Each structure stands twice: as structure tokens, then as C-alpha cells.
Amino acid sequence: MNFGGVIEEVMTREEFPLEKAREVLKNETIAVLGYGVQGPGQSCNLRDNGFNVIIGQRQGKTYEKAVADGWVPGETLFSIEEAAEKGTIVMCLLSDAAVMSVWPTLKQHLKAGDALYFSHGFAITWNDRTGCIPPDNIDVIMVAPKGSGTSLRTMFLEGRGLNSSYAVYQDYTGKALDRTLALGIGIGSGYLFETTFQREATSDLTGERGSLMGAIQGLLSAQYEVLRENGHTPSEAFNETVEELTQSLMPLFAEKGMDWMYANCSTTAQRGALDWMGPFHDAIKPVVEKLYSSVKSGHEAQISIDANSKPDYRIGLEKELKALHDSEMWRTAEVVRQLRPENN
């Protein structure tokens, strides 16, 4: 497929239909370890698509959520260790920190010919830091949905698909690629594009810290603060910074692209956007380059590993998240959302 003049191979549902995926995996037991961020969406989609799926999850609130979603203790819901032992495809959807903590036990349950599946390249890419070095007699594969597990599930129920990347790190059986593509179709991917564990991990960490979360929050808060410091009310500052972006412009952007969005705004907006996109690009690109270098070197991975290893990490994290939650901009957001017509 031609992407702006660059030819890239992608796999669509037409090329690898669900019926073929079912045939490839008909004798497999898919053990999904972890029922947190990606686990519910991927496992429920696989189950609804007719695959043999079991869950591995520790006792607690997340375990109870799995029960509420229809997974039956002793039949389709087990401990992490028992599920890993029963599975021929072990889908490791635990958090990066949890993967490191359970790896010494998990690797003991991986049998020759099994497939070890990830949805993030972190543990394998930086396995000199994580310790997750897979045995050489299994397949090691990845399908990484480009969005949250909640979005994956919601779009599946709407009859749509969330695009995913895929990679084969180790092909012991000779069927790793078919297993990977079948799982990608089974979890409800829109289309699948090839990557490597290293490229996925690097681009993912860059994106999270950049345009998807870190940079967008930094940009929004900077503009909101400047407007407030110059006498604009919270409502005006928020509407001009966030509400118009998310409710008016982003739908246009998502539908047909930024170029189309530009073409459908006022000439005043067009002129200003074209004049200022260059200065913003020039100011931001050095920051993105620094970020990418930090990710590629493994420095960002080490920061995450070190932070997650602290006994009081969760307490500190909650404190930082609460500060974000309690900021004026996001308290204003709560009021503005309530004032939307659909809420009145």
C-alpha cells in the first residue's frame, strides 16, 4: 500500500479473513495473562470471535471484573501460573512492571512449541534490564493495538477495528507469522502493519511521552495559563484551548486529516495556523529529538523500571496524578462537560 509515496506492506481482514484465523488457531488454547488495560478487550473479542480462550489473573478487584465479564473460575479463569501451563499461546498482557516480577515463574511454564505473545515490545527490547530472555524453543510474537483495550473492545462491538502493528521476534515452530496474524485478526484489528519489537517499543514510548500524552498536556496547559494570565476567564480559556479542539476540530481531523481540517476552517484561522505551525515545529522538534534519543538509549525504560521498583511508587504516582486532576484547567473541564447539550 502506498503511504504518501512510501510503499508499505499491510495485512487486511480481506487478505486474512476471520475464517482463516480460526483455522490457524483451532487447536490452540489462548491463555491471556492479566485483565487490566489490554486484557479485557483482547480476550473478550477473541472469545466472541470463537477462539478457545482462558484468563490468568491474581485474586482481587481485577479478578472479580473478569468474573463479571463471564469468565468462570476453574473453567476459563485461573491463576497466572495455571493459565500459563494450560496455554499453548500465552498472551502476556501484564504491565511492564508485573512482567518483570512474574517472569522467573512464568518462564517455567513455557513449553516447547508454545507462543509467547506481547502487546508491547518493552520487556523484550530492553531484556538486558528487564531480565525477560525467552527460551529458544518457543515462538515470540507481538500484536500491538494502536489504542487502549477499552477502545479495542468498543470499536469491535461497533463493528469497526482498531489498527495494530505486529512483529515476530523468534520463530521456533515455523508458524509464528500465521499465529501472529491470526491473533491480530482475532482480537479485532482493523488492519495490521509490520514492525519489530524494538521499533514498536521505541515509537510507543516516544508517542506516549510526546504527542499522545506528555506533549499535548504540556501544550494545552501552557496555552490555558497564558490566556488566564492575560485576564481570560476559566471558561473562555478552556473552550479556546481544549473544548473546541476535542469537540469541533478533532472530529474533522480524525475523519479526513489535518489538511482537510485546515481547508474547512475560516481564512483567518488558516492564515494564522500556516504562519505559526513553523515556529511551533521548530521549537518542538529539538525536544522530540531529545525524547527519542532518551527512549532509544534505554534511559526512559530504566526510569520506568527504577520507578516501578520503589516500594512507595504507587503512593507517589497517585500524588502526581491527583495534582493533575486538581488543576484549574481540568476542574474547569468537569463543569464544561456538564454544560454540553447532551448532558442537559
**Which residues belong to the active site?**
120
Cβ-contact 313, 321 below 8 angstroms: no
DSSP state of 327: S
Nine cell digits for residue 303: 526510569
3-state percent helix, strand, coil for the chain, nearest multiple of 5 = 60, 15, 30
Nine cell digits for residue 193: 502493519
* Cα dist from 174 to 11, 114, 138, 284, whole Å: 19, 12, 10, 44
Can you tell me the distance from the alpha carbon of 241 to that of 250, in angstroms, rounded to the nearest whole number?
A: 12
Can you tell me the distance from the alpha carbon of 289 to that of 298, in angstroms, rounded to the nearest whole number?
A: 14
Can you tell me the distance from the alpha carbon of 224 to that of 329, in angstroms, rounded to the nearest whole number?
A: 7
Can you tell me the distance from the alpha carbon of 212 to that of 214, in angstroms, rounded to the nearest whole number?
A: 7
Which residues are within 8 A (CB) of 55 and not within 5 positions of it... i.e. 6 or more apart? 31, 32, 35, 39, 43, 66, 71, 76, 77, 78, 83
Nearest CA among 108, 205, 103, 115 for reference residue 167: 115
CA 111 to chain centroid? 28
